[in-house]
Structure formats: C-alpha cells, structure tokens
Amino acid sequence: MEPPPPPPPPPSGTTVTQRDQWRVEQEVGRIYSFFAQLPPAAQSFALEVQRDNHIEYLTRGLRGLAPSFGSLDASRPWICYWIIHSLALLGEPIDAELEDSVIDFLSRCQDPSGGYGGGPGQLPHLATTYAAVNSLITLGGSRSLSSINRDKVHNFLRQMKQPSGGFRMHDGGEIDVRACYTAISVASTLNILDDELAEKVGDFILSCQTYEGGIAGEPGSEAHGGYTFCGLATMILINEADRLDLSRLIDWVVFRQGVECGFQGRVNKLVDGCYSFWQGGACALLQKLHPFGLSEGGEDESTDSIDSSLYAASNVSEQEEQENNLESASPQVDGTCQFKQGGPQSASCSINTGNASYNFLERRAEGGSLFNSSALQQYILLCSQLPEGGFRDKPGKFRDLYHTCYCLSGLTVCQYGRSKHADSPPLPWDVVGPYSNLLEPIHPLHNVVLSKYQEANEFFAG
C-alpha cells in the first residue's frame, strides 16, 4: 500500500475549532475513500476485528508494562479492568495462573478499611474501586468474588458520601458525577445499595444536567459524554431517570455523532473512539428507558421506518416476544417509568433500587438504535482499530489500553443495539464486517460482560 499524500493546508480565515475539525475530516475521509476503492476481499479484511493481535497486545500488557506507564501508577486497577474486560469482550479466557495473580494483586490494592486504591498501599479511591470490582466480577468464580470485602467497601462508600448527595473520589478528594457513578455502580453490583447511599444522589446529578441537554461533571460545567453516561446510568440505578429532561438529553447525545461516523465528547470537539462507549452506551440506555412509552400510533409508524426490512426478516418467535413485551412494558405507557420488580435477587436493602440494575436488563429496546450503529462500527474498525492490535482515539494517535477497552465496549453496544433481549444474538446485518466480529454482550449500566454480571448478581444475592 502506498502511503497517502499529505493533506492540503486548511482553508484560511477559519477558527482553531474549524481548522482542527477540518484536519480530522481530511484524515478520516482519506481512510474511507481508500477503503471504498479496495477490492471486496480486502474490504472484508479491513473490517475484521483482529482478535489475535488484540489478544496479544492485551495479554502482554497484563503481564508487564513499559516505564512510560509510570503516569498510570495510581491507576493500576484501571489497567487491569481495561485489559480483562477487553479480553472478556473478545471471549478470550485468561489462564488460571494469571487469573490468580490478578486476584492476588487486587487484594493488595484493597485498603484494610475498605475500598481499592490505585496500587498497593495507596489510599482507597472510588474510581479504582469500581475498576477493581468490575475486574473481579469479570474474572468470576468464588475465589475472585469472595476476595471483595463487601462490608468494608460499604463502609468506604459511606465515608465518601457527602451531605449534598454527591460522593468524594477519596478522602479529601473531588466531588463529581464520576464519583456518584462509580460509588452507585459498585454498590449495585455488590448488592449493598441502600437508602443512605442513594439519598439525594439524584439531586446532585440533576443539578449537573446543563442547558445543552447533556450532563456535566459539576454544576455549571459543560455537557460532556463521559459524565453524561455516568449521570444517566446513576439515575437509572437509583430509579430516578425520569427526573432528568430525557428528550433534551437524547437530542444532545444523538447530535454528538458526526460526519466522521464516530462520536465526539462535547459540542464542536473532535471525534474520539472512547466516546463510542460513553455516548453510544448512553444511547443504549436511553433506548431501553424509552421515556415516552409506546404510543398507539407509534407501532404502525415503525413499520415504515428504515427498520422495516429487519422486522420483516425477524422470525416468528421474535414477533411473539415483541408482543409479550408490550405487557411488560405497560407501566411505561402511563409515563411513570417504573421498573418491574422481581429477578433472582433477594435484595438485602430496604430501598426499591435493589433490583433496578437487574430489572433494567429485562427491559427491551424498541425499534432501531437511536444512533447510527453501522457508521459507528465503521469508525471503530477502520479509524480506531490498529491491525497490529489495539485501538486508538483517532487516526494519528497512538493506541492505548483505555481506548482499546472503550472502543471494544462501544462495538458490542452497537452490535447488540437492536437485540430484543440483552443476550439474544444480533442479526447478521447488525454486525459490520464478518459475523465473527461479534463480541460478548455487556450489562450496559456497569460495562461488564453480561454473563459475568449475572454470575455476580447471584453470588451477591444473599
């Protein structure tokens, strides 16, 4: 392959934002036009998830990292999560010895008084607690799950709880939407979410929804993809999503997908592969939430939408399921947005949020994706993926483990976006590239592989 010629200089008389955007559009455009003129076999290869190379890149990182990773020395449970979750999405088991080493290492990050720090001996921190808990859930098995001291994690979460309703990241640390999400997600997966932890969290998140429609890190700040996912997921986990202005939120998030086919994090910022999950995942949550209910006329309308071919192709049993779903979705029709209670878990907490996470899975997305799923898959596979392994923010950037994790997470959200059940296999045309690109499905509120979530949910049910 010839290296493409350098792009012409950007047009003059434009602003910094326009020039930066123009450069990225050129770069992405060159990739897509190069792809368009490839013969079919080469196109098919270009769209393939390069499993072996990703697995090689990830596994190598799990064993050891170069000196430049010193800047992530206070985020090592995150590195574990990015790698272990990515491998789980690829359906690649980790060998037993390495798995034991991960459990042992994370135990060394667990603070004697509760929660996990960024490395052995570091202060417990909510974000690394979330990363450690998600890693251990993803490994699964009783040795891994029982290594988490739930009572002490609960103590730590209580210590981080603020009178305003929010959480601090760590002792004396910052209070923001990330802290709320990581605390509530951990509490939910470990089945220790109670009234005290959930109290006024909704008030705090609500105060962070901005005039643009998205959610900011703190009241007054700019709407941002990462915080929008965190804020929305938190509200769903505490059963308060209907307090948000969901129509403005949807409008903001769908507009974040740009001509490059990927998502940007904020208005007039550049596309970035990691927002495939933060924004794409928020869309997946919103689809399931379906805030405006099923209107009588709406069902007919959908058949003449662009999805009609898919409905026509779906088999009989799926249509039956669709009918059944109208019943289970009926509480939505009157707009109360209640979650159906039930599930295998006998929640130990008094509050009705106990089952919100599990029950959310039972809700089904109607119609197509809110966003353009095939366009996003195209961006992830052609612009973010490196054939030699790993994913990146955008063309011209280096690969890294964070973007590898969140590009793959975004990819699975795309693939299952139209599935009626969280774990029913997508139809062939929902998967861009060969069907072997299909990844494992996730629980979108926690971003852990679904079967692993289910195992943990049963394990912590008592």
Partner 1 sequence: MASSSSSEGEGRRAWVPLASRPEFAGVTPLPQDDGPSPVVAIAYRDDFRETMDYFRSLYSSRELSPRSLLLTSLAISVNPANYTVWHFRRQVLEALGADWTEELGFTEGVAKRNAKNYQLWHHRRWVAEKLGPDAASRELEFTRKIFCLDAKNYHAWSHRQWVLQALGGWEDELDYCAQLLEEDVFNNSAWNQRYFVITKSPSLGGLNAMRDSEVDYAIEAIHANPENESPWRYLRGLYNDENEAWLNDSRVHSACLRVLKAKRNFKFALSTLLDLLGLGFKPNQEIKDAITSLRTSDLGEAGSDSDLANSICSILGLEDPMRANYWTWRKQQASSSS
Catalytic site residues? 224, 266, 269, 272, 274-275, 393, 400, 403
**Residue 367 partner contact from Zn ion, partner 1, none using kind-dependent CB cut-offs of 5 to 8 Å:** partner 1
Q: Which is nearer to Zn ion, 117 or 410 (CB)?
A: 410
| Contacting partner 1 within 391-430 (CB under 8 A) | 393, 397-400, 402-403
Q: Which is nearer to Zn ion, 144 or 385 (CB)?
A: 385
Is 116 a binding residue for partner 1 by CB under 8 A? The answer is no
Is 153 a binding residue for partner 1 by CB under 8 A? The answer is no
Is 330 a binding residue for partner 1 by CB under 8 A? The answer is no
String of DSSP letters for 167-195? BBSSTT--BSHHHHHHHHHHHHHTT---H
Is 32 a binding residue for partner 1 by CB under 8 A? The answer is no
CA 67 → CA 64, 72, 242, 335, 405, distances in Å? 10, 10, 47, 54, 21
| Nearest approach, Cβ of residue 203 and partner 1 (Å) | 17
Q: Binding-site residue total for partner 1 (CB under 8 A)?
A: 94
**Residue 218 partner contact from Zn ion, partner 1, none using kind-dependent CB cut-offs of 5 to 8 Å:** partner 1
Judged by CB under 8 A, the residue of 73, 151, 196, 203 near partner 1 is: 73
Site residues (CB under 5 A) for Zn ion? 272, 274, 393
Other Cβ atoms less than 10 A from the Cβ of 84: the count is 27
Unique residue bearing structure tokens 């003059």: 12
Is 83 a binding residue for partner 1 by CB under 8 A? The answer is yes
Give Rg (Cα) of the chain.
Answer: 22
Judged by CB under 8 A, the residue of 298, 344, 396, 428 near partner 1 is: 298
> Which amino acid is it at 196?
E
Q: Which is nearer to Zn ion, 212 or 272 (CB)?
A: 272
Name the strand (E) or helix (H) holding 442.
strand 442-443
Is 104 a binding residue for partner 1 by CB under 8 A? The answer is yes
Cα(183)–Cα(278) distance, integer angstroms: 18
**Residue 441 partner contact from Zn ion, partner 1, none using kind-dependent CB cut-offs of 5 to 8 Å:** none
| Contacting partner 1 within 158-177 (CB under 8 A) | 169-174
| Nearest approach, Cβ of residue 343 and partner 1 (Å) | 29
Strand 448-449 versus strand 442-443 pairing type: antiparallel
**Residue 353 partner contact from partner 1, Zn ion, none using kind-dependent CB cut-offs of 5 to 8 Å:** none
> Which amino acid is it at 228?
T
Residue 400's φ and ψ, nearest 5 degrees, are -155, 170
Show Cβ contacts of residue 291 under 8 Å, excluding neighbours closer than 6 positions. 241, 242, 246, 247, 332, 335, 337
Does residue 117 contact residue 123 with C-beta atoms inside 8 Å? Answer: yes
Q: Which is nearer to Zn ion, 185 or 276 (CB)?
A: 276
Tell me the residue nearest to Zn ion as measured from the CB.
Answer: 274
Cα(264)–Cα(394) distance, integer angstroms: 11
Judged by CB under 8 A, the residue of 5, 6, 9, 296 near partner 1 is: 296
Unique residue bearing structure tokens 């605390």: 183
Does residue 192 contact residue 453 with C-beta atoms inside 8 Å? Answer: no
Judged by CB under 8 A, the residue of 305, 324, 328, 348 near partner 1 is: 305
**Residue 351 partner contact from Zn ion, partner 1, none using kind-dependent CB cut-offs of 5 to 8 Å:** none
Q: Which is nearer to partner 1, 15 or 142 (CB)?
A: 15
Q: Which is nearer to partner 1, 392 or 446 (CB)?
A: 392
**Residue 11 partner contact from Zn ion, partner 1, none using kind-dependent CB cut-offs of 5 to 8 Å:** none
Judged by CB under 8 A, the residue of 6, 39, 64, 163 near partner 1 is: 64
Is 140 a binding residue for partner 1 by CB under 8 A? The answer is no
Is 443 a binding residue for partner 1 by CB under 8 A? The answer is no
CA 17 → CA 8, 137, 200, 230, 270, distances in Å? 17, 41, 38, 27, 9
Show Cβ contacts of residue 74 under 8 Å, excluding neighbours closer than 6 positions. 117, 118, 119, 122, 125, 128
Residue 437's φ and ψ, nearest 5 degrees, are -70, -15
Tell me the window of 48-56, 298-306, 311-319, 339-347 that interacts with partner 1 (CB under 8 A).
298-306
Is 225 a binding residue for partner 1 by CB under 8 A? The answer is no
> Which amino acid is it at 382?
L
> HSE (CB half, 13 Å, CA atoms) of 283?
28
| Contacting partner 1 within 335-394 (CB under 8 A) | 367-372, 375, 393
Q: Which is nearer to Zn ion, 263 or 416 (CB)?
A: 263
Other Cβ atoms less than 10 A from the Cβ of 288: the count is 18
Judged by CB under 8 A, the residue of 28, 58, 75, 284 near partner 1 is: 75
Crossing angle, helix 177-189 and helix 150-160, to 10 degrees? 160
| Nearest approach, Cβ of residue 394 and Zn ion (Å) | 8
Is 93 a binding residue for partner 1 by CB under 8 A? The answer is no
Strand 442-443 versus strand 399-400 pairing type: unpaired
Is 55 a binding residue for partner 1 by CB under 8 A? The answer is no
Judged by CB under 8 A, the residue of 42, 259, 313, 333 near partner 1 is: 259
